[in-house]
A and B are shown apart, each in its own frame.
Chain A
């Protein structure tokens, strides 16, 4: 079945550091891939998405590229801020009604 594996946290960074969160997936078809973010005390928000191979999703300085050859969708940001402290979830949808989520990676950015 479909599954998502993302790097375990927690990750602690200083402001303006480079952030990478690794995500790899297993799927039988051609899934759409997503990154969601959950700020403290809130629900999940869609951060970015990519629907086909080689697509790059981007939002708020974050980027992720759909790599079919390596079945990966790593999240990157070049210079993080304290306000980026959150839990980040990688997810895939194989064109049905369900999302398969990774376990989530907690990121803390220190001033």
Chain B
């Protein structure tokens, strides 16, 4: 049990659908992250939130829209995705300067 949960674990969606990924942590951490992990590619940091404020957006396309309503919850809203967006989306949380704790990921398939 890592303390970081993600739902759903698997998601299949069409290119015209709108869906959301959810991440939750109850570790008392102040920072939360979204990563994209594609086959045969390095782990890509997408967004960083620190005390609910977005501090990093690594040139992520606008079809990915993050939301952090509080320090324990993080969402990734998806709309009009492309097949190349199919990947494992990982959420993580941490305290500043400390190790990140990862959730199990959401396996996303875009048809």
The interface of chain A, by Cβ under 8 A from chain B, is 32, 34, 36, 42-46, 49, 89, 93, 95-99, 101-104
Contact = CB atoms under 8 A, between A and B. Distances in A.
Interface of B: 2, 4, 6, 31, 42-43, 45, 48, 50, 55-56, 90, 92, 94, 96-105
Contacts, number: 51
Main secondary structure of the interface of B (DSSP, over half): strand
B90 A43 contact: yes
A97 B105 contact: no
Contact of A43 (B97, B98, B103): B103
A97 B50 contact: yes
B105 A46 contact: no
Contacts of A49: 99
A52 B48 CA distance: 25
Contacts of B6: 43
The 7 tightest CB contacts between A and B, nearest first, are: A43-B102, A95-B97, A44-B102, A43-B104, A103-B42, A43-B105, A97-B31
Given A42-B104, A98-B56, A93 B42 contact: no
A95 B56 CA distance: 16
11 contacts: A32-B97, A43-B104, A43-B105, A44-B102, A45-B102, A46-B99, A97-B31, A97-B94, A97-B96, A98-B45, A104-B42
A55 to B, nearest CB: 14
B30 to A, nearest CB: 9
Contact of A93 (B99, B102, B105): B99
Contacts of B55: 97
